[in-house]
Amino acid sequence: MVELDISSPMTVSTASREASVTSSGNQTAPQPVAPTKKKRNLPGTPDPDAEVIALSPKTLMATNRFVCEICNKGFQRDQNLQLHRRGHNLPWKLRQRTSKEVRKRVYVCPEPTCVHHDPTRALGDLTGIKKHFCRKHGEKKWKCERCSKKYAVQSDWKAHLKTCGTREYKCDCGTLFSRRDSFITHRAFCDALAQESARAQVLPSTNTEENPEIETAVSSSPTALTPSTTVLSIQSPGADMTENPVGVLQQAPATISLTTGTVTSSSSSSSTSVFASIFAPSTTPVTSQPSQSSSTFSDLICAMGRSERSTTLPSSSTAEPTLRLSSSLYLSNSASSLFPTPDQNHRHYAPSPQPAMSATALLQKAAQMGAAASNASLLRGLGLAMSPSSSAQKDSSTTQWSGHVKADSNPVGAGLGLGLPSEGGPALTGLMMGPSSLFVNKPTTLDLLGLGMVPGGASTAGLSALLTSISGGGLDIAAAGSPLGGAAAATAEAAPDRKHNGPALL
Amino acid sequence: MAPMDERSSSVTSSPLQLFSMMSPSPSLGSPYPWLRELKSEERGLCLIHLLLTCANHVASGSLENVNIALEQISQLASADGDTMQRIAAYFTEALADRILKTWSGLHKALNSTRISFPSEDILVRKLFFELFPFLKMAYVITNHTIIEAMEGERMVHIIDLNSAEPAQWIALLQALSARPEGPPHLRITGIHPQKEVLEQMAHRLTEEAEKLDIPFQFNPIVSKLENLDFEKLRVKTGEALAISSVLQLHSFLAYDDEFLRKKSSLASKNSNGVHLQRVLQLNQTTLGELLENDVVNRYSLSPDSASSSPPSFTGSPKMDGFLNALWGLTPKLMVITEQDSNHNGSTLMERLLESLYFYAALFDCLESTLPRTSIERLKVEKMLFGEEIKNIIACEGVERKERHEKLEKWIQRLDSAGFQSMPLSYYCMVQAKRLLQGYGCDGYRIKEEHGCAVICCQDRPLFSVSAWRNRK
């Protein structure tokens, strides 16, 4: 009646199902209350000495294979049929599990294109292979009313019905999502979130009043995920008020990202669970490792960071505050075990109002000034750059200073035999800059170029302009695609002049 | 403080005032005492001007001016001052080194007692990994792309062109063990010039793989990358190959200069000949306008040897050779992380300007991460950034290994080497952005450009990560 290729699976009854899950070496009877976790093979990597069973599609798809001859009632399991037959006063026989050791059985998918068709990738569970076959190679007969998602396996469909529409997520921008993962993905790119986080991260002060603000800021940014907001609310009153709320705040984005990580790991889509392991110290459900092993990337980073200060390289048993998801403190721990160990240092040492401008800002400012005429006067005023001899403000100190230096440098120049023409030339110009004559001729090189400096995008163009003003155009800058095309042309003329000056150190 | 324009005028006015108060004859010891009076912002601007001035003099070869400028800068710059002071210190050291090289005897003598401490190098690289998010991001993106590409593969072989940081592969092992189809058989080939580093890697990785029950094998190759013997890699057919290159490719461009010199000299020799031919054609032709126009075009396109940066693929034999060899391995995936800034300009000034911005961003990051007294910060600044700056500014030819280039150039180069760009996946970018957000330090951004990830600090692109595979 039933087509079987090898042995009948009938012997694999419900009672033995648990045993079939265990590897063949492990035959401990399951304790009633808290069974010790049986060692599960990783999915799709079966025991090498297990018996491989190949069932036909019909067998796999069949629902009620055991039919009562009297009333034609169908049963999925033989045991149930036998019990039913008792009711008809028919002879019945319950088959016992075979007393000898049950050989572990693994099942392959009959569909040749399937990965699990290969015996090395067989699945260990009969129900599993049946569901797999239906899901992947079967027709989707069950449909959810609300979201019209279709399922081939009835149990999948039922499971979906429980959660469909029960939770809705709303992003700040107003978009509604029924699925957590699409909501989360959307949030990453939502502008509203970007603004919120930008604002939220800027709040630095140690004001206690900030706390509720922080909370609302975080919760209004679309962390509609209940766990995170609840835990946040647990945290804030509990959090030490003297503690820098920046700490709370810093943890907040980490919090969100953490819960994301855990959530995505629980939703068993392959790509997201992969991230979870890289990105957040989540529960990797497959590995049965204790939480104290330095589990992930970020843990390693911070573990390394911490132990770098103390010992050499961290051993795996450093009981760092890695993720104990079960405990309610997990967020505070995990936030610290995520990425930012250097961040903690940063918080300690961060010079709050920095008296010194950052170097990048200084460069941009210099670039701006390079476009402005005031720059030339600055340099002249500083007396450091080449003040052309014809310049009106010839401070006496300039002459003296340069004269003094000139006296020094002459022997140097002569001694090195460089024979720079500047020695013989006019006092200042020759000394200060080689092709200085050009500076006199073209004091407004910048105006010729018509540079319009934009602070944000100034970058090289601005500094080049500054440079041009310093050197008076005697410079070969060939910056690609910059508005200094004019400068390049101008400097091309200067190039032959420069060749007279000593060894070209280009 | 006063708004911007007022501030700038105050900058211009105060030094003038100070200047006028200056004593007439400065002593040799401290010629410019008033320089010390400057406030940090003015000092910073002053330093920038001085630096550019000095560089200009170096470029033009006027040595006394260089000396003066260096003297002035030395009054202001300091390796343990504020960001701008530090940057100036390292840049001027590089400029001085450059000048000194012209007296090679002197240069050699001064460097003869230099001892390198490999343990310090290792420490400094580790600090770079820890203190900045760049390597972490590169690793996360690399790992993620590998996992995506290797979905369903059962034999995976990864070649790491600079195998120094175990954290990257440990994270990959963990991610692979969580794969729904189970982990593949993983083989990692690590290349590094130092044996101890590879031993450490092997130990850490095999330990982790055992814990996770992943069939794993680590093959160390003790070799400099440029001398790599591709046979040793033992790439087998049937395995899925991934190559990870983190900041390694640019040093191959160091061999370009010789080639270019030969090429340009050839071109200049030939150009006259070519033009002569064209002139003859023009006289002889009866085709008239069409040909004339063509010739005109050809004239205007005469080779310009003073291009701003070396031609990408046509003039890089060593790089091309290496890329070809990689291509020949037929990797399923190659992930390349490089600095995203043009430090390979043919003129000093170009390189100086670009690297000034680049390292300013990095120094700023350090400033906001560690205090000024931190030894680690000093080490990173001196032994990592300082050395890179010195290489970019002072070295030429084969010596100059830090040949960073912009992402577009790398794309061009890899394209013509037979690779096809694989845009990084949506999820990958999401996760990377998330990670960076959670990092805590402001100013870091990651953006997508031509399908590659670019990590920026304050809108300055710093590093790029791109994925490639063989073009079919």
Residue B161 φ then ψ, to 5°: -70, -15
Per-residue pLDDT at A424 exceeds 70: no
- The one-character DSSP state at A326 is T
pLDDT band at A209 (very low <50, low <70, confident <90, very high): very low
Helix axes A459-471, A374-382, angle to 10 degrees: 50
At A99, is the secondary structure helix, strand, or coil?
coil
**Amino acid occupying residue B212:** L
CB A105 within 8 A of CB A125: no
Average pLDDT, chain B: 82
pLDDT band at B32 (very low <50, low <70, confident <90, very high): low
Rounded CA-CA distance A472/A391 in Å is 14
Helix axes B134-149, A297-310, angle to 10 degrees: 150
Report the pLDDT value the prediction gives residue A116, as an integer from 0 to 100: 82
Burial class (CB in 10 A: 0-12, 13-18, 19+), B266: exposed
- The one-character DSSP state at A284 is -
Report the pLDDT value the prediction gives residue B182, as an integer from 0 to 100: 87
Query: Following DSSP, what letter does each residue of A153-204 receive, concatenated?
Result: SHHHHHHHHHHTTT--EE-TTS-EESSHHHHHHHHHH-HHHHHHHHHHHH--
Which residue in the set A297, A384, A397 is minimally distant from B72, CB to CB?
A384
Of A320-329, A496-505, B357-366, where does the model show the most confidence?
B357-366
Report the pLDDT value the prediction gives residue A506, as an integer from 0 to 100: 40
Q: Tell me the average pLDDT across A256-276.
A: 40
Specify the range with the lowest mean pLDDT, choosing from A142-146, A241-245, A380-384, B175-179: A241-245
Q: Tell me the average pLDDT across B152-157.
A: 91
Contact A506 B347 (CB under 8 A): yes
Q: Tell me the average pLDDT across A171-194.
A: 70
Closest CA relative to residue A114, chosen from A105, A127, A123, A106: A123
Rounded CA-CA distance A455/A477 in Å is 21
Strand partners, B461: B456
**Amino acid occupying residue A299:** D
| Chain B contact for A506 (CB, 8 A cutoff) | yes
Per-residue pLDDT at A26 exceeds 60: no
Closest CA relative to residue B73, chosen from B57, B100, B59, B93: B93
Contact B65 A433 (CB under 8 A): yes
| Chain B contact for A172 (CB, 8 A cutoff) | no
Report the pLDDT value the prediction gives residue A136, as an integer from 0 to 100: 82
Between residues 64 and 103 of chain B, which touch chain A (CB distance below 8 Å)?
Answer: 64-65, 67-69, 72, 82-84, 87, 98-99, 102
Helix axes A297-310, A341-349, angle to 10 degrees: 60
Contact B49 A382 (CB under 8 A): yes
More confident residue, B305 or A383: A383
Mutate to test the interface with B, among A256, A287, A296, A346 (most CBs of B within 10 A): A346
Structure tokens at B97: 């080194």
Report the pLDDT value the prediction gives residue B468, as an integer from 0 to 100: 95
| Chain B contact for A269 (CB, 8 A cutoff) | no
- Which chain B residues touch A502 with a CB distance below 8 Å? 61-63
More confident residue, A281 or A466: A466
With residues binned 3-state (H G I as helix, E B as strand, rest as coil), the percentages for chain B, rounded to 5, are 60, 15, 25
More confident residue, A391 or B289: B289
Between residues 402 and 441 of chain B, which touch chain A (CB distance below 8 Å)?
Answer: 426-427, 430-431, 433-435, 437-441
The pTM of this model reads 0.52
pLDDT band at B418 (very low <50, low <70, confident <90, very high): very high
Per-residue pLDDT at B205 exceeds 80: yes
Residue that the structure tokens 């270019």 belong to: B260
CB B434 within 8 A of CB A272: no
Report how far apart, in Å, the C-alpha atoms of A190 and of each of A118, A184, A263 are: 44, 10, 19
Helix axes A180-189, B426-439, angle to 10 degrees: 70
Per-residue pLDDT at A67 exceeds 50: yes
Closest CA relative to residue A4, chosen from A38, A54, A44: A54
At B245, is the secondary structure helix, strand, or coil?
strand
| Chain B contact for A421 (CB, 8 A cutoff) | no
Report the pLDDT value the prediction gives residue B134, as an integer from 0 to 100: 92
Report the pLDDT value the prediction gives residue B221, as an integer from 0 to 100: 94
| Chain A contact for B458 (CB, 8 A cutoff) | yes
CB A499 within 8 A of CB B381: no
Report the pLDDT value the prediction gives residue A159, as an integer from 0 to 100: 85
Specify the range with the lowest mean pLDDT, choosing from A157-161, B293-297, B389-393: B293-297
Which H/E stretch holds residue B220? strand B216-222
| Chain B contact for A467 (CB, 8 A cutoff) | yes
- The one-character DSSP state at A463 is H
pLDDT band at A391 (very low <50, low <70, confident <90, very high): very low
Specify the range with the lowest mean pLDDT, choosing from A197-211, A403-417, B73-87, B235-249: A403-417
Per-residue pLDDT at B290 exceeds 50: no
Which residue in the set B133, B181, B346 is minimally distant from A115, CB to CB?
B181
Which residue in the set B130, B148, B363 is minimally distant from A301, CB to CB?
B130
At B160, is the secondary structure helix, strand, or coil?
strand
pLDDT band at A363 (very low <50, low <70, confident <90, very high): confident
pLDDT band at B332 (very low <50, low <70, confident <90, very high): very high
- Terminal C-alpha separation, chain B: 61
- Which chain B residues touch A371 with a CB distance below 8 Å? none
| ipTM (interface predicted TM) | 0.71
Per-residue pLDDT at B330 exceeds 80: yes
Which residue in the set A253, A274, A416 is minimally distant from B179, CB to CB?
A274
More confident residue, A137 or B48: B48
Residue A103 φ then ψ, to 5°: -80, 135
CB B406 within 8 A of CB B342: yes
pLDDT band at B90 (very low <50, low <70, confident <90, very high): very high
Total Cβ atoms within 10 A of residue A398: 20
Contact A502 B25 (CB under 8 A): no
More confident residue, A258 or B390: B390
Of A205-214, A427-436, B119-128, B283-292, where does the model show the most confidence?
B119-128
Residue B441 φ then ψ, to 5°: -85, 130
| Chain A contact for B152 (CB, 8 A cutoff) | yes
Report the pLDDT value the prediction gives residue A443, as an integer from 0 to 100: 39
Which H/E stretch holds residue B165? none
**Beta strands A105-108 and A142-143, pairing class:** unpaired
Rama region for B61: left / alpha / beta (φ>0; ψ in -120 to 50; rest): left
Report the pLDDT value the prediction gives residue A99, as an integer from 0 to 100: 55
Per-residue pLDDT at B144 exceeds 80: yes
More confident residue, B452 or A116: B452
